[in-house]
Structures are given as C-alpha cells and as structure tokens.
Amino acid sequence: MKGAATAAPFFFSMSRRASLLDPFLIAADEALRALSGVAGASRPMPSAEGEPADEAARQHAAGLMRVNHTGEICAQALYSGQALFARDPQVRHALRLAASEERDHLDWCRRRLRELASRPSVLDPAWYAGSLALGAISGLAGDRWSMGFLAETEAQVERHLEGHLDTLPAEDSRSRAVIEQMREDEARHGAMGRSLGAAELPWIVRRAMQATSRLMTRTAYWV
C-alpha cells in the first residue's frame, strides 16, 4: 500500500508535465507540417481558367505566389506562437480556426507554384522561426496586444494582396482566384481580432512590421 501511495503522486506529476508539454509538441508538429508541405487544405482550391501568356508572365506570377507562400508560412508561425500563450480560451479557439484557413492558403500557394513550374522560398524556415518568436512575444504581452498584432498583420496582408491583384498578369485567372479568396479570408481574420478586443499597436511597431514585410516580399520574390 505504501508503494502504491508513493507511486500515485509520481504518476500525477508525470501526467501534469505531459499536459504542460502538449502545446509545445503541437507547435512543433505544426512547424514540421508547414515547412515540409504536408499540411493539406480542408477546402478545395479556388479554380478558374487562364494561365500566363508567356515565360516572363509565368515567372512574375510565380514570384508573386512565392511571396504569398512565404506570407502564409509566417502566418502559420505567428498564430502558433500566439496560441501557445493565449489566456482566453475564446482567443485560443479563434487563433486555431484562423490557422486552419491559413493552412488552406499555404496548400493552395504551394500547389499553384507547382503548376507554374516553380518552388517555395528557400528562406521559409528562417521566416517561420522569426514569426514564431514574434507570435510568442505578442501572446505573452496579453490577449489584447496579441489580437492587436493579428489585426494589424491582416490589414497589411490585405493591402499587400490587393497590390498583387493589380500587378498579376491579366490572363492568369487561376492565381487571381486563389489570391481573391485569400484576401477575403484575411479581412475576416482581421475583423475577428478586432471583435476580440484588439489593442491599437504603437506607431513604431506598425512601421517595424511594414519594414519587415517589405524585406520578406523583396527576398521571397527572387529566392
């Protein structure tokens, strides 16, 4: 009996450690799935007829979709880091739901890159690591700041996608269909963050986010 009584606290201690590790194991699994390309979509890929007319147009479309793929890699990492430290279960659930739709975007971008005979950026692992750290920092700052970071990110992404629609080859209807659906989803994610009490980020933080986004866009287009 004494041995059983001694084993019980040890068992519960081990179970508690395992439960505390679960979110970090989930985050690691999400990273592997995102970076390996096995994170499949839950929705069909938006479809339309129409491909780039020549090689130059194809390469430009591929560059834009490579940028979008890297953006979705960053979104996966950001949401994963935020969810690790979210206090409110409603906020955590919203982050998981948004991340699921971002996985659709990631899969669609990867598939579109294959159709365009191209590939994702080789710098994606570095962008994932940096975005995961930013997500964790914003999550540790509290749910209002985390939602503020999400809302501002989505607002910038929405403007970025609108710019892509302006410069995408006119005949590339397949890429356009994907980007339009992504833009619609990003707008909804931003609205979700604001509805959950997003705090307005300081001007300097917004400018730093814009500068980082420009760096990511310029490198991912080519590399």
Residue 209 lies in a domain: yes
pTM assigned to the model: 0.86
Distances (CA, A) of 86 to 36, 76, 83, 116: 26, 15, 5, 38
Out of 18-22, 36-40, 85-89, 158-162, least confident range? 18-22
Average of per-residue pLDDT values in the chain = 87
- pLDDT tens column, 124-133: 999 999 999 9
CATH code of the domain covering residue 172:
1.20.1260.10
Binned at pLDDT 50, 70 and 90, residue 20 comes out as: low
**% of residues, the chain, pLDDT over 90:** 71
Quick one: which of 94, 107, 86 has its CA closest to 42? 107
Q: Write out the two tokens for 135.
A: 């997500």
Residue 186 has pLDDT above 90, yes or no: yes
Residue 158, in any domain of the structure: yes
Q: Which residue has the tokens 């739709």?
A: 101
Alpha carbon separation from 195 to 25, 134, 192, 198 (Å, rounded): 29, 22, 5, 7
**Res 18: pLDDT:** 43
> For the chain, what is the domain count?
1
Range(s) of the domain holding residue 152: 55-222
Chain segment 39-69, per-residue pLDDT in tens = 678 899 998 888 998 999 999 999 999 999 9
- Domain membership of residue 41 (yes or no) is no
